[in-house]
Amino acid sequence: DSGVTQTPKHLITATGQRVTLRCSPRSGDLSVYWYQQSLDQGLQFLIQYYNGEERAKGNILERFSAQQFPDLHSELNLSSLELGDSALYFCASSVDPGETQYFGPGTRLLVL
Amino acid sequence: AQSVTQPDIHITVSEGASLELRCNYSYGATPYLFWYVQSPGQGLQLLLKYFSGDTLVQGIKGFEAEFKRSQSSFNLRKPSVHWSDAAEYFCAVEGDGQNFVFGPGTRLSVLP
C-alpha cells in the first residue's frame, strides 16, 4: 500500500459524458501527478501540481483538466469523453518535485 | 526532451534463472532513473532509483540496477527469479520540469 488513494476504482460511462477522478496523496506529500495508461499509448504523463499550483503539463488533452485543492487532494476532470479515453488513470504523489513518486492503485475508466 | 526505450517487449525465464531487463534513456544531463513494477491489475511499485553517487543501486525484492553513463543504460538485474516476479516492468527517467517519461514496459513471464 503506497498511501495514495484513488476513487473510484472503476468507472463506466458513455461517450460525450463528463467524469471526475479523485486522488488523495500520501500524508505530507505536496506534489501530485496524473498519468494515463492505455494499451496503445503506454504510460503517459498528464499533469503535475505542487501545493495547489500547476507545475508541469504533459500530454493532456484540452478536454481534460485538473486541480489540487488546499487540503492537497486532486481531481482530474475528463469531459466530452470519447471511446479512446478508456484507460487506467493513475495518480502519484511525492514530497517535493523531483523526489520519488508513489503511485495509487488507479481508476479504470471505460467509455462505451 | 527525454525518452526511454525498453528493447524487450516480453521476456520469459525459468524460475531460479538470472534476469536482466534492458533500459536505455536519452537525456542531456544526468538523469534521475527509476524502475517500477506493475503486477496485473495493480498500481506501480517503486523497485529502485538512481539519483547520483554509486552507479550500482540496490532495490527491493532482490533487484539491482546499474547506471552506465557511457551506454545511456540503466539495466535491471536479479540473480534468481521467483514466480512472483512475473509482472510488467517499467523504466522511467525524470528530467526537464520534473516530468516523468516511462518506457513502454517489459512483460516478464516466469516458467515453473
pLDDT tens for residues A66-82?
Answer: 999 999 999 999 999 99
What mean pLDDT, rounded, does chain A reach?
94
C-alpha cell, A33: 501527478
Q: Which residue has the higher pLDDT, B38 or B40?
A: B38
- Predicted confidence at residue B92, as pLDDT, reads 92
**Closest Cβ–Cβ partner in A2, A45, A102 for B100:** A45
Chain A within 8 Å of B42 (Cβ-Cβ)? Answer: yes
Chain B within 8 Å of A52 (Cβ-Cβ)? Answer: no
Q: What parts of chain A have a pLDDT lower than 70? A: none
Min Cα distance A52 → chain B (Å) is 16
pLDDT tens for residues B77-104?
Answer: 999 999 999 999 999 988 766 677 899 9
Burial class (CB within 10 angstroms; exposed 0-12, middle 13-18, buried 19+) of A75: middle
- With 80 as the cut, is the pLDDT of residue B105 above it? yes
Measured between alpha carbons, how far is B38 from B30 in angstroms, rounded to an integer? 26
pLDDT tens for residues B1-32?
Answer: 778 999 999 999 999 999 999 999 988 777 88
Measured between alpha carbons, how far is B73 from B24 in angstroms, rounded to an integer? 4
8 A C-beta contact, residue A87 and residue A36: yes
Chain A within 8 Å of B45 (Cβ-Cβ)? Answer: yes
DSSP A26: P
Q: CB neighbours (10 Å) of residue B11?
A: 16
Residue A103 and residue B102: Cβ atoms within 8 Å? no
